[in-house]
């Protein structure tokens, strides 16, 4: 009678050791400042550069939903606690979360219920908590706020297309579409 080897214990003399939990990695001050500086430089170029103009046979009006016609840095700012204030359901909007100490656009979103969108779970809230914590850790100033662009299309698909075009234009780091470019240091 031949015995099969013990498949689950191929190395009986080796005792596994439990993995040690390490402290979470913290971005260095130098890395944080470089990350913010690169983001700032990119967004300023995106803001100031004019897109190539396509010539047309007919004189076409630019649509009010043209992403190149929207300047998120010029919109009126609101506190990030805006959603805690009593309000109605709100209306369709594109919203911009920014740190105005530099200024940086951190996140762009769309909603048809501006008064309710942030009351529940929202991934950006977690990123902002980490962002605040790291800035506090290094004693850096931050002025995070939100701004709304109220002329957004009421229909969902055109509003989402506009949101995506703005995310691609400004390469906002908290939007998943740009994690490959900027990493997820606050995710």
The DSSP string of 31-45 is: HHHHHHHHHHHHHHH
Structure confidence at residue 112 (pLDDT)? 83
pTM for this model (two decimals)? 0.77
Residue at 83 is within a domain: yes
Structure confidence at residue 66 (pLDDT)? 85
Residue at 42 is within a domain: no
Phi, psi of 87 (to 5 degrees): -160, 165
Q: Which residues contact 54 (CB under 8 A, 6 or more apart)?
A: none
Structure confidence at residue 80 (pLDDT)? 78
Residue at 99 is within a domain: yes
Residue 112, domain extent: 71-179
What's the domain count of the chain? 1
Return the CATH number at 79.
Answer: 3.40.1440
Residue at 64 is within a domain: no
Residue at 186 is within a domain: no
3-state SS string for the chain: CCCCCCCCCCCCCCCCCCCCCCCCCCCCHHHHHHHHHHHHHHHHHHHHCCCCCCCCCCCCCCCCCCHHHCCHHHCCEECCCHHHCCCCCCCCEEEEEEECCCCEEEEEEEECCCCCCCCCCCHHHHHHHHHHHHHHHHCCCCCEEEEEECCCCCCHHHHHHHHHHHHHHHCCCCCHHHHHHHCCCCC
Residue at 175 is within a domain: yes
Nearest to 102 by CA among 134, 46, 145, 70: 145
Residue at 109 is within a domain: yes
Residue at 163 is within a domain: yes
- pLDDT, one tens digit for every residue, the chain (187 residues): 555 555 555 555 555 555 555 555 678 999 999 999 999 999 999 998 866 555 555 554 445 578 888 999 999 998 877 766 555 556 788 999 999 999 999 999 998 876 565 666 667 888 999 999 999 999 999 999 999 998 899 899 999 999 999 999 999 999 999 999 998 888 7
Structure confidence at residue 79 (pLDDT)? 81
- Cα radius of gyration (the chain): 23
């Amino acid at each position: 009678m031949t015995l099969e080897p013990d498949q689950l214990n191929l190395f009986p003399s080796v005792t596994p050791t439990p993995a040690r939990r390490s402290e979470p990695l913290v971005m260095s001050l130098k890395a944080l400042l470089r990350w913010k500086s690169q983001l700032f430089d990119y967004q300023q170029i995106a803001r100031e550069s004019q897109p190539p103009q396509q010539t047309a046979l007919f004189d076409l009006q630019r649509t009010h939903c043209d992403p190149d016609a929207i300047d998120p840095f010029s919109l009126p700012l609101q506190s990030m606690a805006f959603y805690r204030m009593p309000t109605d359901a709100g209306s369709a909007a594109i919203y911009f979360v920014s740190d105005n100490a530099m200024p940086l656009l951190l996140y762009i979103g769309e909603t048809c219920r501006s008064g309710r969108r942030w009351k529940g779970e929202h991934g950006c809230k977690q990123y902002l908590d980490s962002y605040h914590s790291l800035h506090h850790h290094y004693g850096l100033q931050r002025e995070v706020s939100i701004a709304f662009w109220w002329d957004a299309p009421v229909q969902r698909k055109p509003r989402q297309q506009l949101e995506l075009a703005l995310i691609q234009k400004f390469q906002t780091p908290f939007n998943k579409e740009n994690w490959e470019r900027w990493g997820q240091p606050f995710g």
